[in-house]
Amino acid sequence: MVVVLTGAGISAESGLATFRGPDGLWEGHRPEDVATPEAFLSAPELVQRFYDDRRAALATVEPNAAHRALARLEHALGDAFLLVTQNIDDLHERAGSRRVLHMHGRLKAARCTECGESTHWDGTLVDEPPCPFCSQRALRPDVVWFGEIPYGLSEIDVALRRVRVFVSIGTSGNVYPAAGFASFARAVGARTVELNLEPSLGIDDFVEHQHGPATQVVPAWVDGFLAEREA
C-alpha cells in the first residue's frame, strides 16, 4: 500500500497561499482568528467571508504538475493507493485523483450545524442561505478547525497499518494527527519519503527526502518510483 499525505505546499505553485507563510499569517489572518470554533462563534461574518473568499479563489487556480503526478501514481497503483490530504482545495480531484481523503474537510462543502448534513457548496455562506435538508439558516464551511476531530481517521489507520511506502508532500509537520503519520509508518516498516520545499519538523522520521518545489520534485519522484516498480 502506498499512502501519500499532502499539505498546503503542493498547491502553493498553483497560487494558493500556505497556512504558515513567512509572516505566520494565512491570507493576512492569524489561523486562530479564522480557523477555530471560537472564532466562528464570536465573529461568524468574518469567518464566513474568509472561507467564501477562499472558495471563490479556487475558480482562479489550476492543478499543477505535482497534483497531476499523484493522479498518475493512483492510476498505476489502483486499490493499493490512498491520498490523504490536509488541503481543503479541490486541486487533487481536478487533476484526476479519485482516492482522496480530505481529513480537514473541503471548501466546496457546507455542513448544517442544526441537522448535521453536509452538501456540495459552490456559492457563498455569509448571506446565511437555508440548509437544503432542514431549511435552517445554519450552514458553516465543512472544514475541520483547530480543536475539531479530523475526518477519516479510521480509514487512515487501516491504510497506515498496511503501508509499505509513505510519502509526505508540502506539509510543515506542525499539525497533529497528520504530523504523526510518518513516525507511525516508519514503525510498521514502511519506506518513508519527504518531498518538501525545506526540511519539515518531522524530518527525522523520513529515510528519503528531496527538497525543492513540488512541481519539480513530485513528478520526478513519481516517475522514478514507477520505473523502479517496472524494472
Which residue has the closest beta carbon to ligand APR? 9
Task: Decide if residue 18 touches ligand APR (CB under 6 A).
Answer: yes
Min separation Cβ 133 and ligand APR, Å? 26
Task: Decide if residue 97 touches ligand APR (CB under 6 A).
Answer: no
Is there a cis peptide before residue 37, judged by omega within 30 degrees of 0?
A: no
Min separation Cβ 108 and ligand APR, Å? 16
Min separation Cβ 179 and ligand APR, Å? 8
Task: Decide if residue 172 touches ligand APR (CB under 6 A).
Answer: yes
Beta bridge partners of 18: none
Closest C-alpha to 82, from 24, 27, 153: 153
Task: Decide if residue 171 touches ligand APR (CB under 6 A).
Answer: yes
Task: Decide if residue 168 touches ligand APR (CB under 6 A).
Answer: no
Distance CA 83, CA 5 (A): 6
Helical ranges in 27-142 per DSSP H: 31-34, 37-42, 44-57, 65-77, 91-95
Distance CA 145, CA 39 (A): 10
- Dihedral angle, C-alpha 68, 76, 79, 93, nearest 10 °: 10
Task: Decide if residue 9 touches ligand APR (CB under 6 A).
Answer: yes
Min separation Cβ 123 and ligand APR, Å? 23
Q: Which of 63, 141, 170, 202 binds ligand APR (CB under 6 A)?
A: 170
HSE (CB half, 13 Å, CA atoms) of 230? 8
Binding site for ligand APR (CB under 6 A): 7-9, 12-13, 18-20, 31, 35, 86, 104, 170-172, 174-175, 196-198, 200, 213-214
